[in-house]
Amino acid sequence: MGKRCLAEFFGTFWLVFGGCGSAVLAAAFPDLGIGFAGVALAFGLTVVTMAYAVGHISGGHFNPAVTFGVWAGGRFATKDIVPYVVSQVAGGLAAGAVLYVIASGKTGFDPTAGFASNGYGAHSPGGYTLAACMVAEFVLTAFFLLVIHGATDKRAPAGFAPLAIGLALTLIHLVSIPVTNTSVNPARSTGVALFQGSWAVDQLWMFWLVPILGGIVGGVVYRCLSAPEAGSQDLGAVHKSAARA
């Protein structure tokens, strides 16, 4: 369990540092930024790279909503949920701290301006209401878990799960950055919200509650769609098979 938790810590660190770092440092660079599409790709690439790097150790969740989703899908033990979630949040906070140190090296840096935090209402990038943001986060997280379950099903082609999952996360960000700045991951939201320090902390409840509910629903739906024997292989076993391939 110690090694699995470390893998989750490092994987979540990379996701938050790479994804949020691209948003804070590169999205709107003075002359030529990477924009929404670049940030979306960055988040997808973090998942692809770390799923191949450490997914065979821990299963490559890097996200409390994924942990709850694979548990709901019957592929994860209840006793392992808390250690995984603690490791993921710790990784997100560590990434937020490192990103804060780097970003504060630029004159005029102000974390209260946003710091890649997720928000709704007045703090939604596009001014979307709480209800709209909740629907977006719920639906996108549920479908993210459908992709994860399907790509890691033992009947799926071996070795391609990280690519499918990373592309799904890229698509999710392309859709919802204007809505909530895209969470679908409570650890990602927490990792930067605490450094933003004001409205992001006040709104953090939604980016825990809704993605976890969406993840659970996605896991349950895939479990219902799948034959009883089809989804029995956990994510770690799938990634080990991919590594051998």
Residue 242 CA to residue 245 CA, distance in Å, equals 5
Average per-residue pLDDT in the chain? 92
pLDDT value of residue 228? 63
Closest CA to 64 of 49, 48, 81: 81
pLDDT value of residue 100? 97
Domains of the chain with CATH codes: 1-225 (1.20.1080.10)
| Residue, of 31 and 191, whose pLDDT is higher | 191
Helix (H/G/I), strand (E/B), else coil: 184 = coil
Q: How far is CA 191 from CA 20, 149, 150, 233, in A?
A: 9, 26, 28, 30
Counting residues of the chain whose pLDDT is more than 70, the rounded percentage is 91
The structure's pTM equals: 0.89
pLDDT-derived band at 229, boundaries 50, 70, 90: low
Q: In the predicted model, is pLDDT for residue 178 greater than 70? A: yes
| Residue, of 69 and 30, whose pLDDT is higher | 69
Span 202-224, mean pLDDT?
A: 97
The structure tokens listed for 55 are 């997914």
